[in-house]
Amino acid sequence: MKRFLKSNKKDLTFWYTALLLVLSQTAWDQAVVFLSIPLLIHLELNRSVNASLGLKNIFFLKMIIFTGFLVGIVHLAEYDLYYFSRDIMYFIQAPIFIIIGFYMSKNIIHFRELIRIVVLSSLVITVYKLIELVLNPALLTQLGLETRYEYSLSNATALLAFTILFYARICKFKLFENFQEWLILGISLFSVAISFSRTDYFLLLVMILIPLINKAFYILKIYWLTVFVVVVIIFGGFFIKVESSAIEEDTFQSKINHSFNEILVQDYETSFEISQNWRGYEAFLGLTKFSEGNFIEILVGQGFGTVVYTPNWIFNGEMDSLDVLPMFHNGFITVLLKTGLLGLFFFFLFLFKLLKVALKVPVLSFSKLEKLTTMLLQAAVFTVLLLTFVVHGIFTTTTPVLLLIIIGATLKMKTFRGKIIKLN
């Protein structure tokens, strides 16, 4: 830890990045994209290599933004400029933070320092969220869904910190002193455990399994199988009829049992059914509007600025923040509505491209760095897939900044590995 502080005390770029990463996990998260612009400009002006080779891997991500923007411009007279501007902000954050991570990782030293910053920024927020438990240990006997919401114990970045250190130890890629690594691992895992987040629990299982799958063939097969399942759940709701079930009691077990009903994109007839299956129903509204478009709109979407208006009867005619839906918990529906089948295809190709980069094996023997970046990029792809399916994904005002920074950093290391001295 002391070595980390000493090596970066004169590097304002790293300290500014650390500040942004901490802020991205707080109530200031929506300001981070604006605060990151000066950093991006600074890194662009001071980059020492031609970035076109590495950044071509996010070409399809840029095409999604270009498609949504262009179609939105065509329809701008019909749309609210506010929602058009919001959509631009939703979508541009992903490439911005990937590029920042890419530029920050100039070499092995910079890569190591950057992922240290990611881990430490997560630790700061994790410790802050656990302060209530430290001050009031009696809460440990009451942990559950209520404490999760009351004390804001949900903390997705703790899982990222755990994953980075877990993989680093597998690869023997030293980030901190041994005791410090075990301490951070323990704190991060504890934070995940008490979050009572179905998404985080499932992702934790995926992160642990990734190092066990060594062959590229199996990784790619799992990826396309996951894509197939996602597509079936998105479009299958029109054909799959699942009996609506109520959550009998507000417990974690009941939520797990209800998970499939909740995510299936399907229509419901009563306010009660809709409240029980809101994620699936709002996705159904988005898919319905998408299907009502003409051939061109089916192909390229209805553009940035398009929104879905929720039927008044759902809220008994009263005004509600969910009256207008500019985006959806199911981020694939957001991409589909705004950029069409082409945009959805681009999104799957973007993740597939990242996975192909991750699976490239250098001519030289597998180094510690190579192993770590391979596992991190694989983990990032499957994390984005799941997050997009259940909690907006990378196209939202509260985009997963730390994850995107890691994607950019690992892309840089994988792309320019031939120019990097191998770690032994």
Give the closest residue to 95 by CA, choosing from 416, 407, 413.
407
State pTM to two decimals. Answer: 0.89
Check if the beta carbon of residue 179 is closer than 8 Å to that of residue 137: no
User: pLDDT confidence of 148, banded at 50, 70, 90?
Assistant: low
pLDDT at position 116, please?
95
Q: How confident is the model at residue 107 (pLDDT cuts 50, 70, 90)?
A: confident
pLDDT value at 351 more than 80:
yes
Task: Give the mean model confidence (pLDDT) for residues 52-71.
Answer: 90
Three-class secondary structure of residue 89 per DSSP: helix
Residue 324 has pLDDT above 70, yes or no: yes
Mean pLDDT of the region 111-128: 93
Phi, psi of 365 (to 5 degrees): -65, 155
Mean pLDDT for the chain overall: 84
First-last CA distance in the chain: 22
165-222: pLDDT as tens digits = 999 999 999 999 999 999 999 999 999 988 888 889 999 999 999 998 877 888 999 9
Q: Label residue 281 by pLDDT band (50, 70, 90).
A: confident
d(CA 9, CA 146): 41
Give the bridge partners for 325, in sequence order.
308
- Joined tokens for residue 271: 């306010």
Model pLDDT, residue 344: 96
349 pLDDT exceeds 90?
Answer: yes
Give pLDDT, residue 308.
Answer: 92
More confident residue, 36 or 397: 36
Task: Please tell me the distance from the alpha carbon of residue 328 to that of residue 282, in angstroms, as a whole number.
Answer: 7
Joined tokens for residue 387: 């997050």
For residue 154, the model assigns a pLDDT of 75
What is the band of 247 on the pLDDT scale with cuts at 50, 70, 90? low
Q: State mean pLDDT over 65-89.
A: 94
pLDDT tens-digit readout, 23-61: 998 888 889 999 999 999 988 888 766 666 678 889 999
> Span 281-310, mean pLDDT?
93
Q: Decide: 96 and 33 in contact? Cβ < 8 Å.
A: yes
3-state SS, residue 421: coil
pLDDT at residue number 236: 75
Per-residue pLDDT at 420: 45
Residues 6+ apart with CB under 8 A from 416: 49, 53, 54
pLDDT at 424: 35
DSSP per-residue codes, 105-121:
-SSHHHHHHHHHHHHHH
pLDDT score recorded for residue 213 = 86
What average pLDDT does range 300-325 have in this prediction?
A: 79
Q: What is the DSSP string of 144-208?
A: SHHHHHHTT---HHHHHHHHHHHHHHHHT---S-HHHHHHHHHHHHHHHHTT--HHHHHHHHHHH
The pLDDT, as a whole number, for residue 418 is: 46
Rounded to an integer, the average pLDDT of 147-169 is 84
How high is the pLDDT of residue 421? 40
Give the pLDDT of residue 195.
Answer: 83
Per-residue pLDDT band at 273 (split at 50, 70, 90): confident
